[in-house]
């Protein structure tokens, strides 16, 4: 039986579509819904630019307070987008959402860690691939989660299929 689910969002163009699937499943199973978004760590270039403009204390302060502020803003944006998407009739769906977490790290690892930590029964994510013209409609994160997940994964296809005549 499915009592709780984890919806992993990339906050991209297709996030509202995947969210609709997540909420429909939560409604169907009368399940709790957790939402997670992973923020990848800053790259070496960005870190070196910051180091050239900030002293060590300011840099440490930015890492601790700046990142927390950014994460809190993203969490608020996710909840606001849910409210906007659902409108007034979506109050019951919003009550199903137990937590919205924005965590720093490799997206697939963040998703898998949260699934284990929360003991969810189902993972929900999009198949999105950011690579234009990719041969596979499966993104790196989705592929990794499918390979390593210890619970069922509900994958929403996001890449438009080519029509037969377009080949």
Assigned token pair, 49: 């630019």
Which of the pair, 60 or 6, is modelled with greater confidence?
6
**Residue pair 8/34 in contact by the 8 Å Cβ criterion:** no
Strand partners for 5: 33, 122
**Phi, psi at 164, each rounded to 5°:** -55, -40
Sign, CA dihedral 109-111-115-117, equals positive
Write the pLDDT tens digit of every residue in 47-94.
677 777 777 887 777 777 777 787 888 888 888 888 888 777 778 888
Q: What angle do CA 157, 32, 68 make, to 5 degrees?
A: 80
pLDDT band of 107, cuts 50, 70, 90 = very high
Which domains, ranges and CATH numbers included, belong to the chain? Answer: 4-166 (3.40.50.620)
Q: How far apart are CA 86 and CA 91, in angstroms?
A: 8
Specify the pLDDT at position 142: 93
């Amino acid at each position: 039986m499915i009592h709780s689910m984890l919806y992993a969002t990339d906050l991209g163009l297709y996030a509202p579509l995947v969210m609709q699937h997540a909420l429909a499943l939560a409604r169907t199973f009368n399940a709790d819904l957790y939402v997670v978004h992973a923020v990848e760590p800053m790259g070496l270039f960005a870190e070196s630019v910051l180091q050239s403009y900030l002293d060590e204390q300011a840099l440490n302060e930015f890492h601790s307070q700046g990142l927390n502020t950014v994460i809190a803003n993203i969490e608020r944006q996710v909840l606001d987008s849910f409210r906007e998407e659902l409108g007034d009739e979506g109050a019951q769906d919003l009550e199903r959402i137990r937590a919205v977490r924005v965590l720093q790290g490799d997206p697939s690892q963040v998703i898998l860690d949260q699934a284990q930590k929360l003991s969810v029964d189902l993972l929900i994510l999009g198949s999105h691939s950011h690579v234009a013209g990719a041969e596979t409609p499966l993104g790196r994160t989705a592929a990794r989660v499918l390979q390593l997940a210890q619970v069922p994964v509900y994958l929403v296809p996001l890449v438009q299929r080519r029509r037969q005549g377009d080949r």
